[in-house]
């Protein structure tokens, strides 16, 4: 039976403190019911070492199940009403934003928002127990305990993960959301690193900090910080270690370009402060090599930048469709809108403008953002004037919104635009992200530009056909104009795919489906997105994708995610984590789903988590 957190505390407190068992032999693949699995007494012993921070996982939807010990119809009504609210979901520890990774096969705890709920609430692939870490010491003790008994760990924070790295059945989770440290130093000297000198304007943020926390904090200090567009993403966790792009990327580069120093815990339990002088290889690897792979991040120290006003251009329109000609490659209105964007995006990026371009049938949405200059509003109006005129005169677009806005700081921008970005940020649904980075050369001639636009339209058409002739709400195209074109990395200081330095668009064929959808529906939708990518990527000169927002089914993932950096990343992985204690799917060092029970939910023989107390 799944017990609430308070019940676990009472149960564990009643158990005697016993000496730990001998260290488990072999790889960390121990499962409940095996002799290697800790007894309740041994869990209690561990709980005392982490100051009672061991918790029982209690899925968000459990209040909706009569068989659950915390069944509460009133609470269930609230959960169902707010199921798709990212902030509300963040108020629960045991929940993810990308919901397919809560389930293991047909086992889940979905509260029946789209399809009838099951008879019982299952943990699915949630860890039965997690440690609510509040310090590097908590992390170290958790890692050492797990290795002693051969238990796998997962690391999770805000629940945003499109590849399923933050959940795996019958593991012990390291929950970092309580690591909320934030500080600002006008003058900062990296630890034991004379070569770095003294740096100006350095912020320190804990692994549990998200954009909603950190942006107002630094604005109070007259600063702004690289974040993504989604306000609930934990920016010092997987976001940062995968690269981190957002509205400030054309101006300052990727999040990893700002890195100065990190406090981490490696697989051996050692607490380290890493920078360009101390463990420089590990520092390099964690600047783009991906989260949940090399070490557990505790604090991230990075450059922040003097505040500036933000200006935006928001354009929304309904794209007309000819019922007698549904072929999207022949939709002149959509082709014209995408062509206008492609013609202008390279110049906009070079003028430090970021942008988000969305086609969600039949809606075309454009948000351009300029966080630069003394009068960004006047500048963005001037820079986008010809594009605005082109879109406004497109006869196939029925304009809904066409407005320019100025914000006094990054904080006002973040919170005022939140409803717009939330509308197109997949939350509480299944998501697949087939994607590619589209480099500058694909925009530099009329022929290349036409190839790029035609490939996108062809991809959308292939998705439409795969769905039976109607895109509906199942496949959405997004072009995120957040490349690091203006920030060179001549010294190779970061480990992101080098293609980012030439990128104009991060283009996605986003496939979505409701929680609890039958397997055949999920299969159809994901194949539709994959068909779209297959067509969209054909003319591209570089085959590269952003690790954090990519297709979980990507085949050539080592090269597509990291380019020529993969071999060095793997060598560093083997140096600092020779037993591959940190392991996640299609992360550096991963090989297959079949070799480890933590990946069983990706196979045709899924084994869901066993609820505490494992009886």
**Interval 84-112 mean pLDDT:** 96
Confidence of residue 564 (pLDDT cuts 50, 70, 90): very high
CA angle 386, 387, 393 (to 5 degrees): 90
Residues 338 and 303 in one domain: no
Question: What is the domain-level CATH number for residue 272?
Answer: 3.30.465.10
- The chain-wide mean pLDDT, for the chain, equals 94
Residues 26 and 105 in one domain: yes
Structure confidence by residue, pLDDT tens digits, 258-302: 999 999 999 999 999 999 999 999 999 999 999 999 999 999 999
Residues 67 and 161 in one domain: yes
pLDDT the model gives residue 426? 84
Burial class (CB in 10 A: 0-12, 13-18, 19+), 382: exposed
pLDDT the model gives residue 424? 87
Question: What is the domain-level CATH number for residue 379?
Answer: 3.40.462.20
Residue 21 belongs to a domain: yes
CA dist 141 and 49 (Å) reads: 7
CA dist 301 and 321 (Å) reads: 50
Residues 150 and 187 in one domain: no
Residues 254 and 331 in one domain: no
Place of tokens 């083997």: 574
Residue 558 belongs to a domain: no
CA dist 139 and 141 (Å) reads: 6
Structure confidence by residue, pLDDT tens digits, 395-435: 999 999 999 999 999 999 999 999 999 988 889 999 999 99
Percentage of the chain lying above the pLDDT 70 cut: 95
Place of tokens 């990054």: 410
Is residue 3 predicted with pLDDT exceeding 70? Answer: no
Q: Rounding to the nearest 10 degrees, give the CA dihedral for residues 268, 269, 273, 279.
A: 0
pLDDT the model gives residue 613? 87
Could you give the 3-state DSSP secondary structure of residue 264? strand
Residues 449 and 429 in one domain: yes
pLDDT the model gives residue 24? 46
Q: Are 210 and 232 in contact (CB under 8 A)?
A: yes
Q: Are 140 and 271 in contact (CB under 8 A)?
A: yes
Residues 299 and 407 in one domain: no
CA nearest to 505, candidates 545, 448, 552, 445: 545
pLDDT the model gives residue 19? 37
Is residue 91 predicted with pLDDT exceeding 60? Answer: yes
Helices 5-13 and 40-49: crossing angle, nearest 10°?
100
Residue 567 belongs to a domain: no
CA dist 139 and 195 (Å) reads: 30
Q: Are 134 and 195 in contact (CB under 8 A)?
A: no
Confidence of residue 615 (pLDDT cuts 50, 70, 90): low
As for how many domains the chain has, the answer is 3
Q: Are 483 and 506 in contact (CB under 8 A)?
A: yes
Q: Is the dihedral of CA 418, 423, 424, 429 positive or negative?
A: positive
* Exposure letters 247-284 (e unless 16+ CB within 10 A, then b): bbbbbbbbbbbbbbbbbbbbbbbebbbbbbeebebbbb
CA dist 281 and 614 (Å) reads: 40
Residue 123 belongs to a domain: yes
Confidence of residue 473 (pLDDT cuts 50, 70, 90): confident
Residue 106 belongs to a domain: yes
Distances (CA, A) of 229 to 243, 299, 418, 423: 14, 21, 8, 12
Residue 580 belongs to a domain: no
- Domain, as residue range, for 196: 182-307
Kind and range of the H or E run holding 387 = helix 385-392
CA dist 227 and 220 (Å) reads: 16
Structure confidence by residue, pLDDT tens digits, 41-80: 999 999 999 999 999 999 999 999 999 999 999 999 999 9
Structure confidence by residue, pLDDT tens digits, 306-355: 999 999 999 999 999 999 999 999 999 999 999 999 999 999 999 999 99
Percentage of the chain lying above the pLDDT 90 cut: 93
Could you give the 3-state DSSP secondary structure of residue 508? strand
Structure confidence by residue, pLDDT tens digits, 479-519: 999 999 999 999 999 999 999 999 999 999 999 999 999 99
Residues 368 and 278 in one domain: no
Helix residue spans in 126-279 (DSSP H)? 136-149, 211-220, 238-242, 249-252
CB atoms within 10 A of CB 29: 16
Q: Are 406 and 489 in contact (CB under 8 A)?
A: no
pLDDT the model gives residue 11? 37
* Exposure letters 509-526 (e unless 16+ CB within 10 A, then b): bbbbbbbbbeeeebebbb
Q: Domain ends where: 248, 278, 307? A: 307
Residue 29 belongs to a domain: yes
Q: Domain ends where: 512, 531, 553? A: 553
pLDDT the model gives residue 36? 96
Question: What is the domain-level CATH number for residue 111?
Answer: 3.30.43.10
Residue 387 belongs to a domain: yes
The length of the chain is: 615
Residues 171 and 199 in one domain: no
CA dist 353 and 573 (Å) reads: 36
The widest CA-to-CA distance across the chain, in whole angstroms, is: 76
Confidence of residue 26 (pLDDT cuts 50, 70, 90): low
CA dist 89 and 72 (Å) reads: 17
CA angle 272, 278, 281 (to 5 degrees): 95
Is residue 12 predicted with pLDDT exceeding 50? Answer: no
Distance, C-alpha 528 to centroid of its chain: 22
Residues 384 and 319 in one domain: yes
Q: Domain ends where: 259, 283, 307? A: 307
CA dist 171 and 454 (Å) reads: 46
- pTM, full prediction: 0.95
Is residue 575 predicted with pLDDT exceeding 60? Answer: yes
Residues 334 and 460 in one domain: yes
Residues 435 and 326 in one domain: yes
């Amino acid at each position: 039976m799944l017990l609430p957190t308070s019940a676990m505390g009472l149960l564990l407190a009643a158990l005697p403190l016993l000496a730990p068992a001998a260290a488990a032999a072999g790889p960390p693949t121990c499962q409940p019911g095996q002799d290697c699995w800790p007894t309740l007494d041994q869990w209690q012993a561990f709980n005392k070492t982490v100051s009672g921070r061991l918790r029982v996982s209690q899925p968000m939807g459990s209040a909706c199940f009569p068989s659950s010990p915390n069944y509460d119809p009133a609470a269930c009504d609230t959960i169902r009403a707010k199921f798709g609210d990212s902030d509300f979901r963040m108020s629960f520890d045991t929940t993810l934003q990308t919901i397919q990774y809560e389930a293991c096969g047909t086992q889940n705890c979905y509260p029946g928002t789209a399809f009838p709920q099951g008879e019982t609430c299952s943990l699915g692939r949630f860890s039965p127990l997690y440690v609510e870490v509040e310090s590097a010491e908590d992390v170290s003790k958790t890692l050492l305990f797990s290795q002693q008994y051969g238990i796998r760990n997962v690391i999770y924070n805000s629940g945003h993960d499109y590849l399923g790295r933050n959940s795996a059945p019958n593991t012990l989770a390291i929950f970092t959301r309580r690591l909320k440290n934030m500080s600002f130093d006008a003058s900062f000297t990296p630890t034991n690193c004379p070569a770095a000198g003294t740096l100006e304007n350095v912020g320190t943020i804990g692994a549990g900090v998200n954009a909603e926390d950190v942006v107002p904090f630094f604005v109070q200090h007259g600063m702004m910080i690289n974040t993504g567009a989604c306000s609930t993403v934990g920016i010092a966790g997987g976001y940062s270690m995968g690269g981190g792009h957002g509205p400030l990327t054309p101006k300052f580069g990727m999040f990893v370009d700002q890195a100065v120093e990190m406090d981490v815990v490696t697989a051996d339990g050692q607490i380290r402060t890493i920078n360009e002088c101390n463990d420089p290889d590990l520092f390099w690897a964690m600047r783009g090599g991906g989260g949940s792979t090399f070490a557990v991040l505790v604090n991230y120290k990075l450059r922040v930048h003097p505040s500036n006003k933000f200006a935006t251009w928001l354009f929304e329109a309904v794209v007309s469709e000819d019922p007698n000609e549904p072929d999207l490659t022949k939709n002149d209105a959509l082709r014209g809108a995408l062509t206008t964007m492609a013609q202008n995006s390279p110049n906009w990026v070079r003028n430090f403008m970021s942008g988000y371009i969305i086609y969600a049938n039949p809606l075309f949405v454009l948000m351009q953002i300029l966080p630069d200059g003394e009068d960004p509003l006047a500048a963005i109006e001037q820079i986008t004037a010809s594009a605005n005129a082109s879109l406004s005169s497109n006869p196939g677009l029925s304009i809904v919104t066409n407005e320019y806005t100025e914000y006094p700081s990054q904080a006002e921008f973040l919170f005022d635009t939140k409803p717009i970005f939330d509308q197109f940020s997949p939350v509480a649904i299944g998501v697949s992200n087939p994607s590619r980075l589209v480099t500058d050369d694909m925009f530099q001639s009329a022929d290349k530009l036409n190839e790029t636009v035609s490939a996108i339209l062809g991809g959308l058409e292939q998705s439409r056909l795969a769905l039976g002739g109607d895109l509906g709400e199942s496949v959405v195209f997004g072009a995120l104009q957040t490349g690091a074109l203006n920030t060179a990395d001549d010294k190779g200081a970061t480990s992101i795919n080098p293609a980012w330095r030439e990128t104009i668009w991060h283009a996605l064929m986003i496939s979505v489906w409701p929680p609890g959808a039958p397997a055949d529906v999920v299969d159809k939708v994901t194949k539709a997105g994959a068909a779209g990518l297959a067509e969209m990527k054909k003319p591209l000169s570089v085959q590269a994708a952003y690790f954090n927002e990519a297709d979980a089914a990507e085949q050539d993932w080592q090269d597509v995610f990291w380019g020529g950096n993969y071999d060095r990343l793997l060598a560093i992985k083997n140096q600092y984590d020779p037993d591959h204690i940190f392991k996640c799917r299609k992360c550096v060092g991963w090989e297959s789903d079949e070799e480890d029970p933590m990946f069983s939910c990706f196979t045709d023989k899924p084994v869901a988590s066993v609820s505490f107390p494992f009886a």
